């Protein structure tokens, strides 16, 4: 796999975050009362941080969900990466502390995760948003059909727009983000042949996925070009675009999770979010490993298994027409059956 690096300035040491489940013990959801052995899971974020209210935060939620499941006896901790050179160091910290499993969050960590898994064959590894042609026996990739989630969001935007122009502010041009954009733009064209789509990727730099001011400025620019719906798909950078939509009183679409619940300042503009079930994927990987059912390779989450979809319409529920809802339901059915293509298929 080709290595993709983000230029980053030197930063302080990574933050270690610990969480204990159940009654406050240190061995997961049971609180340490009925576990003969605790399965220790360490999560390492990319530079987007747990504060992104989407990608990293929801992957961490998967660890918490596993920890709160009394049948698993999981204990989890997270380390936030400040720069790409932290990735292997942070993963090795968990290995050195005797952790059973390490979760790496993000495509940018692909090379470093493979190197760490190769170096530590007795530890299980999972990585969100990446897979390998030849993974090690202790490594599984958790991947999603972001293009399907984006297609659904774009299909809705294509029907809902009044200006026939929609925008998107994206993170780095890496495969998961690229699939969101392709799906979103093609979904809009599927329901509205007259649609004009505007979009911009964030350049590589020290604030990759973590520059809301840049995202907001790009969102305002797109609104100035006539976009009345803005898709923010890039961590905290994308969150800035959502706030641009609020400021300019246009509609917005969240990403990865139901951002109506996580970016509350954007509730006013949020018609829906293009979701991928990150927490479900992470918990599934942990559950399999803790039960001795770990399989290396790749696990794919898509429309056919409920791994991607659209969040509820929330405050826009009465504004989205019955015909539009029916159309989205039909598109989802076709995507799940494989009879409708997003244009991003490989």
**Does this chain's domain 16-144+278-305 share its CATH topology with 146-276+313-337?**
yes
Task: Give how far Cα 325 sits from Cα of 125, 194, 322, 329, Å.
Answer: 40, 20, 5, 6
Give yes or no for residue 3 having a pLDDT over 80. no
Q: Domain 146-276+313-337 adopts which CATH fold? A: Rossmann fold (3.40.50)
Give yes or no for residue 314 having a pLDDT over 70. yes
Alpha carbons 112 and 242: distance in angstroms, whole number: 32
Query: What's the mean pLDDT in 153-165?
Result: 98
Contact of 52 with 254, CB cutoff 8 Å: no
24-28, 155-159, 243-247, 306-310: least confidently modelled range:
24-28
Task: Give how far Cα 118 sits from Cα of 216, 223, 283, Å.
Answer: 40, 47, 23
Token representation of residue 27: 């061995």
Alpha carbons 114 and 65: distance in angstroms, whole number: 25
What percentage of residues in the chain have a pLDDT greater than 90? 86
Residue with token string 């958790």: 142
Q: Please give the angle made by the CA atoms of 109, 38 and 90, to the nearest 5 degrees.
A: 25
Choice between 35 and 147, residue whose per-residue pLDDT is larger? 147
Choice between 229 and 51, residue whose per-residue pLDDT is larger? 229
Q: What is the pLDDT of residue 346?
A: 60
Contact of 183 with 215, CB cutoff 8 Å: no
Q: Global pTM?
A: 0.86
**Segment 208-226, tens digit of pLDDT:** 999 999 999 999 999 999 9
**What residues contact residue 25 under an 8 Å CB cut-off, 6+ apart?**
31, 32, 33
Query: What's the mean pLDDT in 69-85?
Result: 95
Query: What's the mean pLDDT in 284-289?
Result: 97
Binning pLDDT at 50, 70 and 90, where does residue 345 land? confident
Sheet architecture: strand order including 74-79: 16-19, 74-79, 39-44, 101-105, 124-128, 139-144, 297-301
Choice between 330 and 345, residue whose per-residue pLDDT is larger? 330
What are the φ and ψ backbone dihedral angles of 157, each rounded to 5 degrees?
-60, -40
Query: What's the mean pLDDT in 318-331?
Result: 98
**Segment 244-267, tens digit of pLDDT:** 999 999 999 999 999 999 999 999
Q: What is the DSSP string of 192-229?
A: -TT-EEEEEEPPSSTTTT--HHHHHHHHHHHHHTT-SE
Helices (H), the chain: 55-68, 87-96, 110-119, 146-160, 175-191, 212-224, 235-248, 278-290, 322-337
**Segment 24-51, tens digit of pLDDT:** 222 334 344 467 889 999 999 998 889 8
- Dihedral over Cα of 259, 261, 266, 270: its sign: positive
Q: What is the pLDDT of residue 34?
A: 67
40-54, 105-119, 281-295: least confidently modelled range:
40-54
Binning pLDDT at 50, 70 and 90, where does residue 86 land? very high
Structural domain spans, the chain: 16-144+278-305, 146-276+313-337
Decide the pairing of beta strands 16-19 and 74-79.
Answer: antiparallel
**Chain centre distance of CA 286:** 17
Give yes or no for residue 2 having a pLDDT over 80. no
Give yes or no for residue 22 having a pLDDT over 50. no
Alpha carbons 312 and 266: distance in angstroms, whole number: 15
Query: What's the mean pLDDT in 291-320?
Result: 97
Write down the CATH superfamily of domain 16-144+278-305: Response regulator (3.40.50.2300)
Residue with token string 């093609």: 186
């Amino acid at each position: 796999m080709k290595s993709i690096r983000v230029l980053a300035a030197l930063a302080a040491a990574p933050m270690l975050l610990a969480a204990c489940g159940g009654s406050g013990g240190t061995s997961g959801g049971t609180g340490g009362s009925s576990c003969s052995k605790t399965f220790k899971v360490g999560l390492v974020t990319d530079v987007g941080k747990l504060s992104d209210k989407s990608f990293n935060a929801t992957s961490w939620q998967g660890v918490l969900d596993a920890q709160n499941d009394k049948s698993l006896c999981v204990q989890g901790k997270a380390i936030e990466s400040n720069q790409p050179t932290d990735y292997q160091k942070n993963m090795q910290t968990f290995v050195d502390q005797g952790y059973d499993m390490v979760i790496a969050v993000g495509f940018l960590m692909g090379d470093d995760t493979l190197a760490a898994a190769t170096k530590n064959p007795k530890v299980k590894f999972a990585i969100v948003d990446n897979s390998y042609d030849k993974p090690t026996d202790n490594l599984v990739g958790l991947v999603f059909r972001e293009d399907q989630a984006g297609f659904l969001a774009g299909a809705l935007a294509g029907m809902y727009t009044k200006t026939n122009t929609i925008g998107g502010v994206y993170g780095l041009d890496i495969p998961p983000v690229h699939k969101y954009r392709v799906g979103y733009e093609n979904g809009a064209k599927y329901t509205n042949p007259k649609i004009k789509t505007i979009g911009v990727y964030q350049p590589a730099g020290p604030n990759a996925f973590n520059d809301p001011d840049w995202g907001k400025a790009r969102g305002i620019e797109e609104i100035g070009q006539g976009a009345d719906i803005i898709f923010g798909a890039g961590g905290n950078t994308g969150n800035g675009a959502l706030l641009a939509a609020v400021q300019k009183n246009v509609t917005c679409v969240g990403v990865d999770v139901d951002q109506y619940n996580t970016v509350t300042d954007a509730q006013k503009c949020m018609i829906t979010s293009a979701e991928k079930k990150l927490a479900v994927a992470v918990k599934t990987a942990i559950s399999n490993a803790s039960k001795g059912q770990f399989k290396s390779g790749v696990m794919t989450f898509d429309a056919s298994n409920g791994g991607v979809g659209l969040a509820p319409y929330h405050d826009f529920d009465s504004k989205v027409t019955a015909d539009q809802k029916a159309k989205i339901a039909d598109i989802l059915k076709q995507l799940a059956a494989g009879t409708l293509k997003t244009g991003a298929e490989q």
